[in-house]
Chains A and B, each alone.
Chain A
Amino acid sequence: MGQPGSIFCGSADHGLSRRGFLGAASAATAGTFAADMTRLDGLKNPLLAGEVKRQQKSVILLWLAGGASQFETWDPKPGRPTGGPYAKIKTNVNDVHISELLPKLAQRMNHTAIIRSLNTKIGDHGGGASLMETGRVSDPGLIYPDIGAIAARELGRRDSQVPDYVSMYTSTEGRRKGTSGFLGARYAPMFLSDKQIPDNMHRLDAISNDDHKDRAALRDLLSKRFTQSRLSEKINSHTTAYSRVHGLMSSEKLFDIEQEPESVRAKYGPRQFAQQCLIARRLVEAGTPFVKVARAWWDSHGQNFETHRELCADLDHAMSTLLDDLEERGLLENTLVVTLGEFGRTPGINASLGRDHFANAWSCSLSGCGVRGGSVYGKTDPDGNTVADGEVGAAQVFATMLEALGIDHEKEYMIGARPIPLADFGAKPIKEVLA
């Protein structure tokens, strides 16, 4: 398997390659993304401007681990034998209705596209998660990167001082770290499973803050002196790595919601999922291109309606607060917020008033960046047993997410002599939900 540096971007129109841009940019930059004045100069070049624009984009994936019910979220069927007890409600988009369990999101539907016609066929947790995360069926000979790693690779900055891919999964059931596959460890997620603030990021107590700064300054001085007469990719990489680690240590505060004003924290409230969404907002605001917030555990084989009453309240509040916050900060148009899980849940209601795994006709949502808000794609039959119109699989959803972010889904990575497109071979984005 090749290192990231050996991966060739197959896009034909790159008179100025991304690598070249990043190399030039990283050589010229220091400090945080927001303070990077060289990037403003770079905007005079259309290609650079396009690159910068793409790089400003981010994804927040709200992973509904265990598989949320489409009936109790995006595709309600009240009054049908499969529909369950909950009503559908109007949204702020004409003729679009969702479950009454999502009243706040209903008032933000102008930001959101719903895909109601997923037929992904795989109904086990591991297989379903792998499929939806990578957009393709597993290949025994190759480990594919998930959407987070690809976003980190395509949207992240080599010189970034914030993590490129953060994954939060604090429950234990169905926990998955995520994988960068053949993209290598550089794009693997920073994985938070026990705490909201990562371990090993803070400086040692034995070293004072002044000492820490002095040491960095001394290292920087020596490094600059050393590199003055030596132009080398390896030396640059070494320097960048130090800078990145130093930056990551500084980014500890990004995970600390106490840094937020009380008024903002109050909006997100006391529940963990919403607080993790606040961390996600802080991260994307600082330049992290991909944050996954997993909310377990929707696997409601028993008491589906009680479980969704509880978890939908969590989703409704957390996601609507997040959308509002992103919008108020001008971040929503560049941040794609996705709800996705392994699969949906059965139309049939079992004797424990539960719903079981079901991958043949279910839903997901896309909000914000690149999305035609208020659109609904696809349709299930009146009882939700089958897809009636617009059937799509995981690959199309994957291609759609990439296109929404301005990433060419047909772009290929070369693994040795083997071209691997970002989205699975032949997958087309769902244009109807794209802006």
Chain B
Amino acid sequence: MSWSDPTKLKRVKDFGISGIAFCVAREPGSGKLFFGNSDFKVYEVDALAEKPAPAAFEAEGHQSYVTGVVRSQKQLVSGSYDGNLIWWDSESKKPTRTIKGHERWIRRVTVSPDGNIVASVADDMVGKLWDAQSGETMHTLKDHKEETPEHFPSMLYAVAFSSDGKWLATADKVGHIVVWEVASGKKAAELESPGMYTWDPRARRHSIGGIRSVAFSHDSKLLAAGGIGQIGNIDHLGGPSRVEIFDWQKGESLHTIEDNELKGLVEQIEFDPAGNWLLAAGGDHGGFVSFYSVETGKLIKQDKAPMHVHQLAMNDDSTGFFAVGHGKIAHYEFKSDSPPGPAEPPLPEDAA
């Protein structure tokens, strides 16, 4: 048996791929990954093989960058900037259903923990919940504004289910977060993280940033949002990687974590099932994977990833992950043979 220990973080392997991988899903109990790519294709690869060889789904598929891929039983569902959601038979690698899911670019696709509901967000500023088996629309979620305060098109980047499947969070370019009740499709809460959005009114007169990732803690009480902090020169991603942790039901911001060492966008967040740590991954020209303490917001351990990380897939026991990104896939582990001990030796019982 092994336990997660972020202080043991190490990169086990990385290998090159053609193009940019924006999204990844993993087959449980294996290193088999499915990833969506900038060549408009979905790939399968065994990342644990000695010489991983990505194989494309060659059937007619998407017409733009593939930005979301999730597993639902033996199906895959992918989403793309072409606005389409495609259901694939993961064994035959053939599409079984194609739906025009959104009027604009799909930014991310996720799936409920039980695999029954697929969620997608897109630049039509709408979130949608789909029955993973029938492909029927269950709810259309509208709350995010189509324009930024400066009257430019906004973007809806991030979506995540809670571990119990009851809640869904969506987050946009200007830092607006909405928590939805999945069963009813009704808005349950809203939060703001305006520090994720930089509008430069003077030097360059456009914007950058946005919330690129959201995640619930495993007890569903906390919600973390990831992106980038304020940027001076918005020509580049030269701003601090940024995570804000909320007690979303109280509407309280608990921690704002900004890292100026390894800068860029936080593209994905994962919470420790035991609630101790939070993993944030992303990058600028380079990449990073960083572990933070959920309790204090302090950095535990980080690594300069070999590429800008766009998404990652955790392994079965949350002791490792596969990160995909710009031209590479990397396999990390952070496991220990013994359970993590307390931070300091416990006091003798009679000392109290």
Which residues of chain B are near A81, meaning CB under 8 Å?
A: 19, 38-39
- Could you tell me if A171 and B208 are in contact, using CB atoms closer than 8 angstroms? no
Contact of A306 with B by CB under 8 A: yes
How many angstroms between the C-alpha atoms of A269 and B123 in the bound complex?
21
- Could you tell me if A87 and B64 are in contact, using CB atoms closer than 8 angstroms? yes
How many angstroms between the C-alpha atoms of A302 and B284 in the bound complex?
8
Q: Nearest Cβ distance between residue A274 and chain B, in whole angstroms? A: 10
- Could you tell me if B63 and A296 are in contact, using CB atoms closer than 8 angstroms? no
- Could you tell me if B81 and A86 are in contact, using CB atoms closer than 8 angstroms? yes
Which residues of chain B are near A354, meaning CB under 8 Å?
A: 235-236
- Could you tell me if B236 and A301 are in contact, using CB atoms closer than 8 angstroms? yes
Q: A352 is contacted by which of B19, B155, B237 (Cβ under 8 Å)? A: B237
Which residues of chain A are near B238, meaning CB under 8 Å?
A: 302
Which residues of chain A are near B235, meaning CB under 8 Å?
A: 66, 297, 299-302, 354
- Could you tell me if B203 and A79 are in contact, using CB atoms closer than 8 angstroms? no
Contact of B10 with A by CB under 8 A: no
Which residues of chain A are near B205, meaning CB under 8 Å?
A: 170-171, 272, 295-297
Which residues of chain B are near A311, meaning CB under 8 Å?
A: 206
Which residues of chain A are near B153, meaning CB under 8 Å?
A: 309-310, 313
How many angstroms between the C-alpha atoms of A296 and B235 in the bound complex?
11
Q: Nearest Cβ distance between residue B229 and chain A, in whole angstroms? A: 14
Contact of B105 with A by CB under 8 A: yes
Contact of B335 with A by CB under 8 A: no
- Could you tell me if A351 and B63 are in contact, using CB atoms closer than 8 angstroms? no
Contact of A236 with B by CB under 8 A: no
How many chain A residues touch B (CB < 8 A): the figure is 36
Interface of chain B residues 127 through 181 with chain A (CB within 8 A): 150-153, 155
Contact of B204 with A by CB under 8 A: yes
Which residues of chain B are near A79, meaning CB under 8 Å?
A: 40, 63
Interface of chain A residues 76 through 106 with chain B (CB within 8 A): 78-79, 81, 85-87
Contact of A314 with B by CB under 8 A: yes
- Could you tell me if B237 and A172 are in contact, using CB atoms closer than 8 angstroms? no
- Could you tell me if A85 and B105 are in contact, using CB atoms closer than 8 angstroms? yes
- Could you tell me if A173 and B236 are in contact, using CB atoms closer than 8 angstroms? no
In this complex, what residue of B is CB-closest to A194?
Answer: B202
- Could you tell me if A310 and B237 are in contact, using CB atoms closer than 8 angstroms? no
Which residues of chain B are near A87, meaning CB under 8 Å?
A: 63-64, 82
Contact of A251 with B by CB under 8 A: no
How many angstroms between the C-alpha atoms of A295 and B155 in the bound complex?
22
Interface of chain B residues 272 through 328 with chain A (CB within 8 A): 283-287, 307-308, 326-327
- Could you tell me if A303 and B237 are in contact, using CB atoms closer than 8 angstroms? yes
- With A85-B81, A302-B235 given, can you name 15 additional A-B contacts, CB distance below 8 Å? A66-B235, A85-B38, A171-B202, A171-B205, A295-B205, A297-B203, A297-B235, A299-B235, A311-B206, A313-B153, A351-B285, A351-B326, A351-B327, A353-B20, A354-B236
Q: List 20 A-B contacts (CB under 8 A).
A: A66-B235, A78-B63, A81-B19, A85-B64, A172-B202, A172-B203, A173-B204, A269-B151, A297-B205, A299-B204, A301-B235, A306-B210, A309-B123, A310-B207, A351-B308, A351-B326, A352-B236, A352-B237, A352-B285, A352-B308
